[in-house]
Structure 1
Amino acid sequence: MIKGLILAVFVGFSGIYAQAKIEIPNDKDVMYHFGACKSEFLPSNFQLFIWNIKKAEAKAEWARDFEYFTPRSDIVLLQEAMMDNFVPAIALGQKGFCWDFATSFIDNDRNPTGVMTGSPIIPLSIHFLRSPGREPVLKTPKMVIVAEYALANSAETLWVANIHGLNFVSNKLNREQIEQVAAFLKKHNGPVIFAGDFNSWNNERLQYLDEILGRLAMKKLAFANDDRKLKLDHIYVRGLEATRTDLHKNINSSDHKPLTAEFRLK
């Protein structure tokens, strides 16, 4: 029922964009890096902030919320981010942060849209994963950024995967994207965070997320006040202790509620 409703809405909206000149960039043109960060290590206790920002359509209200959460965070994971005249300018206002952006597609106004990861800590490495499947009609992929960070007082490094999951597709294609990321994360023996908008809007998607990531000994964090009708955004973790989790239901500048979590090394 939910899947049918979502597909019906998508078909309705897709007509608006049917004539759009969507461009999928070559691999060499996917990534943007901007900002200036200097810290070399994540602290032993750190905070994560995750948010699908709906392309910052709410403008001033979105900027106010973003500017509240970001200075309190050590890692910021955004989905539906934009490389336009607005979002990067607001992000650059966060002094001491650097940002990595992976382009899903370039829209009719020549603005890249995709996922964006930011931190005051210089990443040791950055990788992107383009989904094997594509959304219908516009044939656009979804993206994942995997950033690696050094940890204070530890020989291990932390991998942080920031996902925007395939949405208006079969469960099979959505699962293939999750399997793709899991296969990449399997290469790392240290702590891992896998978070973002998984577009897990039915029980089957929720179940195989737990199954696939459970093979990597990753567990989903719970939120005490979680009464979301559609649970799309999640945080999975391995090798860290979550000392606090929050779902920020009072934030209305996007159709997704931000998630925050505080961690310390085990």
Structure 2
Amino acid sequence: MRHYRSDEAGIPLPDTFSLLTWNVHKEMGRPPFDKTLQSLLATGTPELILFQEAVLDTHTAEHFPGYNVSAAININLRHRQYGVLTAAKSPIHDTVSLKTNRREMHIATRKSLLITTHPFENGSELVAVNLHAINFVSAAVFIEEIDRLRIALQQRKGPMIVTGDFNTWSRKRMEYLEGFARSIDLLPATCANGHHIKQRFSKPLDHLYFRGLTLLTAEAVNTGRVSDHNPILATFKR
């Protein structure tokens, strides 16, 4: 796990807050991506940002001024790492990172997820899960890894958001994900412009689930070819 600014600095989450979730396809630091990110942040300054395939290096914090940032690494190179990244205007009180037990076929990497907690103004906390699910493996292995997340979350109480790139390109994967969500009382966010969410074999890969919150808005935003996925912007009320 890597922390950029994850101390007690920041303010609690307001009762109404927004988030941005996005598989950024290792594009951070490239001018087209950086310009698009700044444009997205300027539209509403989301309190939470959850990236998959984030670039983790000495310049990462520069993308998120005013945010606390934690990341779970799954690819570790000499001068740069990649993984899931969660940035928050609020303090990050607790972080748990998990890597898949299994490795992906062909490229032999593990995937990572990050669980963080964020205080609300009334003292309660939001659990945020940022996940990039394992790919290029059998449905049985996918199920095994998602079940590890279910076990990690089943004792967690209160408001929760689970989001990321789930690689749900098969019926069996999609059905198991839906069952996982029901098992811990998560609801799916239905996005406006949902056709902008990346699909494979006519099934969406990116998802946003929640509980203990009211979903006010959710939209998939077409960012062209900045990444091979498009971001989802959502607003919730506690």
TM over 0.5: yes
One-letter code aligned to 2:140: K
| Whole-angstrom CA distance in 1 between matches of 2:157 and 2:5 | 30
Question: Match for 1:83 among 47, 50, 56?
Answer: 56
2:68 match: 98
Is structure 2 residue 56 aligned with structure 1 residue 70? no
1:56 match: secondary structure: coil
The answer on whether the counterparts of 1:58 and 1:253 sit within 8 Å (CA) in structure 2 is no
| Whole-angstrom CA distance in 1 between matches of 2:182 and 2:89 | 30
Question: Match for 1:132 among 95, 98, 101?
Answer: 101
1:193 match: secondary structure: strand
Question: Match for 2:173 among 185, 192, 205?
Answer: 205
Greater than 3 Å deviation, 4+ residue runs: none
In the TM superposition, 1:1-266 aligns within 5 A as 31-35=1-5, 38-56=9-27, 59-70=30-41, 72-84=45-57, 86=59, 88=60, 91-107=61-77, 109-153=78-122, 155-227=123-195, 228=197, 229-230=199-200, 231-265=204-238
| Whole-angstrom CA distance in 2 between matches of 1:83 and 1:189 | 31
Identity fraction in percent: 27
RMSD value over aligned CA atoms?
Answer: 1.8
Residues 70 and 32 of structure 1: CA distance in aligned 2, closer, same or farther (over 3 Å):
farther
The answer on whether the counterparts of 1:70 and 1:94 sit within 8 Å (CA) in structure 2 is no
Bigger radius of gyration among the two: 1
Unaligned runs of 5+ in 2: none
Q: Considering fraction of residues, name the structure with more helix.
A: 1
1:175 match: secondary structure: helix
Unaligned runs of 5+ in 1: 1-30
| Whole-angstrom CA distance in 1 between matches of 2:76 and 2:219 | 33
The answer on whether the counterparts of 1:70 and 1:76 sit within 8 Å (CA) in structure 2 is no
Could you tell me how far 1:60 is from its partner in structure 2?
0.5
Could you tell me how far 1:252 is from its partner in structure 2?
2.6
2:85 match: secondary structure: strand
| Whole-angstrom CA distance in 2 between matches of 1:36 and 1:134 | 29
Q: Output the TM-score relative to the length of structure 2.
A: 0.90
Q: Considering fraction of residues, name the structure with more strand.
A: 2
Could you tell me how far 1:70 is from its partner in structure 2?
3.4
Could you tell me how far 1:85 is from its partner in structure 2?
5.3
In the TM superposition, what whole-angstrom CA distance separates every residue of 1:68-95 from its partner, at most 9, and x where no partner exists?
Answer: 2235110000011122355x1xx42432
2:193 match: secondary structure: coil
In the TM superposition, what whole-angstrom CA distance separates every residue of 1:126-175 from its partner, at most 9, and x where no partner exists?
Answer: 1101112211133211000000011112x421100000000111111111
Q: Output the TM-score relative to the length of structure 1.
A: 0.81
**Matched residue count:** 230
| Whole-angstrom CA distance in 2 between matches of 1:44 and 1:178 | 30
In the TM superposition, what whole-angstrom CA distance separates every residue of 1:108-128 from its partner, at most 9, and x where no partner exists?
Answer: x54211111101111110110
